[in-house]
Amino acid sequence: MKIGIIGAGAVGAACAMATLIRGCASELVLVNRGRDRAKGMATDMGYGAPLSSTTKVTDGDYSDLAGATLVMITVGVNEKSGGATDRSDPQGRLRLLDKNAEVYRQVIPSITKAAPDAVLLVVTDPPDPLAYLTRALAGHERVLSTGTLLDSLRFRVHLGRRLKVAPKTIEAQVLGEHGTSQIFHWSGARVGGVPISDALEQLGLMQGDDIRATIENEVRYANITIIEGIGASQYGIGMVCARIAEIVLRDERTVVPIGVYNSRLGVTLSLPGVVGRHGCLQILDPPLSNDEQVGMKKCIETLRKAQERIR
């Protein structure tokens, strides 16, 4: 099966490398405005590909996306160049929306013309309103945003550090926007089936708003911390995109927090979704505490306003 990646910047490169290592596709096509960069990247990765997979890596134009099962879209202004690295800025990634919406209006028609049956995975920030726009431009429902899957992994990692347990044994999700209005689903968080609040108490760890606030800040601004160190948040999202691609190509019907248009709410946001070959097949509504319900309402309003900006 073929996967296309639009954009050969830091994130596009990380997505390509992670996808290549997982070996979930038979062919990987890299498309970039400057084709020389895509060609160089494809050539470099292609030499190492035999060590991990049988994936064929090539550069190409939009027409080379024909027959693609999934296309990742990573093009646009990033957080650093777009001025979205101020922790005190309530807009966060939404500051990039107007510029990146213009980029998407140019590239989405070319993608859908070449690969009309592909699932489209929006990676560019801010992914949720851009996925909303992509759905309108593409004219179909097979549109996903990377949403809060990476945020949820970060949440699990920071909880694991506090509890001194492996993050993979923790069930914890971030819901809503991949941005400053995101909701931490504390009421549903578990470790080994034990509620997180009980686990903290049993392990003799302090519990309360201070721990929650600390972890939430670590997760919410993890991207800025990474950018301050290496200039771009790329490797984690690359691994997330490769995993989503694997879920789609294998038609796994795996449940993950993922960004998809919710017709009941009228916005694209992340809730647990059943993901398979045709995108998100069903959305699940987790029970929320009173505080989480209030947070969700604020999040929905934030996303509605963002969507109105780019209609």
pLDDT number for residue 207: 57
pLDDT score for 81: 82
- What would the two tokens of residue 270 be? 């992340």
**For residues 210-243, b (16+ Cβ closer than 10 Å) or e, as one string?**
ebeeebbeebbbbbbebbeeeebbbbbbbbbbbb
| CA–CA separation, 280 and 38 (whole Å) | 29
> pTM to 2 decimals?
0.96
The reply to whether omega before 126 is within 30° of 0 (cis) is yes
Which residues in the chain show pLDDT less than 70?
Answer: 206-209
pLDDT for res 110: 98
Half-sphere exposure in the Cβ direction for 121 (13 Å, CA): 35
Residue 185: burial class (beta carbons within 10 Å; 0-12, 13-18, 19+): buried
Query: By three-state DSSP, how is residue 256 classified?
Result: strand
* Structural domains of the chain in order of their starting residue, each with its CATH number: 2-145 (3.40.50.720)
Look at residue 208 in the predicted model and tell me its pLDDT.
60
pLDDT at 117: 97
pLDDT for the residue numbered 59: 97
* Cβ count near 61 (within 10 Å): 13
Is there a catalytic annotation at residue 158? no
Tens-place pLDDT, residues 161-210: 999 999 999 999 999 999 999 999 999 999 999 999 899 888 877 656 68
- Considering 158, 178, 185, 278, which one is annotated as catalytic? 178
pLDDT in tens, 16-51: 999 999 999 999 999 999 999 999 999 999 999 999
Question: Quick one: which of 54, 234, 65 has its CA closest to 46?
Answer: 54
**Torsion over CA of 140, 141, 146 and 148, rounded to 10 degrees?**
150
Burial class of 106 by CB neighbour count within 10 A (0 to 12, 13 to 18, 19+): exposed
Residue with tokens 């470790």: 191
